[in-house]
Amino acid sequence: MANSKERVVRFSGSARFAHWGHTVTFIVLLISGLALFSPSLKSLAAIFGGYVNAGVVHRWMAVFFTVIPLACLAANPKGFKEWWKDVFSFGKNDIGFLMVFPLEFFGFKAKIPPQTKFNGGEKMNSVVTTTSCVFLAISGYIMWFKASFPLWMVQWSYPIHDICMILATCMVFMHAYLGSFHPGSGESFWGMWKGTVRSDWAEHHHKQWYDKVKGGN
């Protein structure tokens, strides 16, 4: 049985920097993008000093939004590979997690099938959010440098950008709630803030990963 006072390292510094860098740039991109998206949201443009400034901020944030994960990938390719391999290894325990998760969501105790470093919900979030953000970035650069791309590609980039923005926003806000504000999410937040989590929490929520870490494999 794991000790509640013992802590285990869950996320490296580069992983935490990538996460919070993505969070901050995404929020600024979302607010500035909405200001440019619809006249009904013109009040958001005032935050940046008008539409022109909102456009400038949106483009600069897009650059940081792209550079930060690439820099973290270069700094820790092994960690990125392990994360990528884990989130795409979706098995019966992950399906089992999704089936009992509603009970945990509403505050009931549930027997969670042994999970890897990322549970079934986190894996789905990672895949959908990452895919949406990649297409957001690609379509955004096409819209920014439209003269350099074929007309059909520019035309398709607008609806793709909007759809991916909606998908990514839904996933980011759901993740923010479950990782920060949900009653049982305390250790999830500290894991991404300080890098460590309680051993007993890790054993309960991510037993396969915890056993691997404690076993030194």
CA distance 202 to 71: 28
* Residue 35 tokens, joined: 């200001």
Structural domain boundaries in the chain? 7-215
pLDDT confidence band for 105 (50 / 70 / 90): confident
CA distance 39 to 50: 12
Q: What is the DSSP string of 62-125?
A: HHHHHHHHHHHHHH-HHHHHHHHHHHT---HHHHHHHHHHHHHHTT----PPP--SS-HHHHHH
**pLDDT at site 180:** 78
pLDDT confidence band for 103 (50 / 70 / 90): confident
CA distance 54 to 35: 7
Checking 125-129 for CB contacts under 8 A at 24+ apart, the result is 125/171, 125/174, 125/175, 126/83, 126/87, 127/87, 127/88, 128/167, 128/168, 128/171, 129/168, 129/171, 129/172, 129/175
Helix and strand numbers (H, E) in the chain are: 10, 2
CA distance 84 to 89: 9
Q: Is the pLDDT of residue 217 over 60?
A: no
CA distance 195 to 61: 26
pLDDT digits (tens, 9 = 90+) for 161-204: 999 999 999 999 888 888 777 776 778 888 999 999 999 989 88
pLDDT digits (tens, 9 = 90+) for 115-148: 999 999 999 999 999 999 999 999 999 999 999 9
CA distance 57 to 63: 10
Rounded to the nearest 10°, the torsion over CA 53, 57, 59, 64 is 170
SS3 of 194, please? coil
Fold exhibited by the domain 7-215: Fumarate Reductase Cytochrome B subunit (1.20.950)
Q: Are 12 and 204 in contact (CB under 8 A)?
A: no
Alpha-carbon 194 to chain mean position: 17
pLDDT digits (tens, 9 = 90+) for 42-95: 889 889 998 899 999 999 999 999 999 999 999 999 988 999 999 999 899 999
